[in-house]
Amino acid sequence: MFSREDIPSIEFFKLHGCGNDFVFIDNRSLFIPKEKMSSWAEVICRRKRGVGADGIAFFELSTIAGADYMWHFFNSDGSRAEMCGNASRCMGVLAVKIGLANMQHTLSTDAGLISITVGDELQDATVTMTDPTNILLNVSLEVEKETQQVHFVNTGVPHLVVFHDNLIDYDIIPKGKLLRGHSHFSPEGVNVNFVKIESPNSMFVRTYERGVEDETLACGTGVCASVIIANQLGLVGTNVKVMTASKEIIELNLNNGKVLMKGPVVHVYTGQLQLSELGLF
């Protein structure tokens, strides 16, 4: 049984993918109980008072056949998430660095098995996402007495896609917040992506993420959702470079129904969490 008296501090890893930042905790020997993970996520991810992150993953040996390891992933508000694209890239690189897995391996998530191929320099990774489901095009929603045209797809987590002509000066938070909590998607809510098509093989995407309740610098599953919807509408092809809010690029390839996402990974630092100082036990 885990207790802070036995272990006053624990190691953590901080990584980011295109500015979407995460904390990772190796739970193979710590055995932090699942019922504590949500509250830990809130404390550790809190900016200025904790480590600060958009989400956190507790990773451990897999109980699922065919997976090298598994994780329990939580958003910064403590809500559990089925999947996180950028975090899975980061997790893949970290797994190779610490000897948990080979360059090509499989991660078990709540959304299913994720195949990860880590780049030779350990600075990027390509993830084969779970198959997209529940694609809905041209859905009309009433938002503040106006009709908003949106599109929906689940890429491991639910996403809306909204096309917009000018994203540079546009404040996505008010509209993102309204759509995220729209009654049509209650009670779970939905992530909201605002998309500008630049060319048949490039686009700009900004995302309001549920669980973070704010715009993030990038969202991997959101980028995937945006490309899938744009492709369904005939706006882009099957190989697309996506500019994120951090001005970094995520590459998407749609290959015979499979979605491959490639992007950079940065291992920012490794540190120690002082459990008593943070009130964690």
Q: What is the DSSP string of 170-231?
A: --HHHHHHHHHT-GGGTTT--EEEEEEEEETTEEEEEEEETTTTEEES--HHHHHHHHHHHH
C-alpha distances out from residue 66 to 60, 113, 239, Å: 14, 8, 29
Q: Per the structure block, which two tokens stand in for 4?
A: 């802070």
CA angle 203, 223, 175 (to 5 degrees): 85
Q: Is 256 annotated as a binding residue?
A: no
Token match 């690029």: residue?
A: 249
Task: Name residues whose C-beta falls within 8 Å of residue 73's C-beta, 6 or more positions apart in sequence.
Answer: 55, 56, 57, 80, 81, 82, 83, 84, 87, 109, 110
Q: Is 85 annotated as a binding residue?
A: yes
Strand, coil or helix: 56: strand
| Number of CB atoms found within 10 A of residue 269's CB | 10
Task: Name residues whose C-beta falls within 8 Å of residue 132's C-beta, 6 or more positions apart in sequence.
Answer: 153, 154, 155, 224, 225, 228, 259
Burial level of 234, CB count in 10 A (0-12/13-18/19+)?
A: exposed
Q: Would you please indicate which residues are annotated as catalytic (active-site) residues?
A: 84, 219
| Number of CB atoms found within 10 A of residue 71's CB | 25
Residues in the chain: 281
Q: Taking Cα atoms as reference points, which of 54, 81, 23, 91 lies closest to residue 273?
A: 23
Q: Is 270 annotated as a binding residue?
A: no
Binding site as annotated, residues for substrate:
20, 75, 85-86, 191, 209-210, 220-221
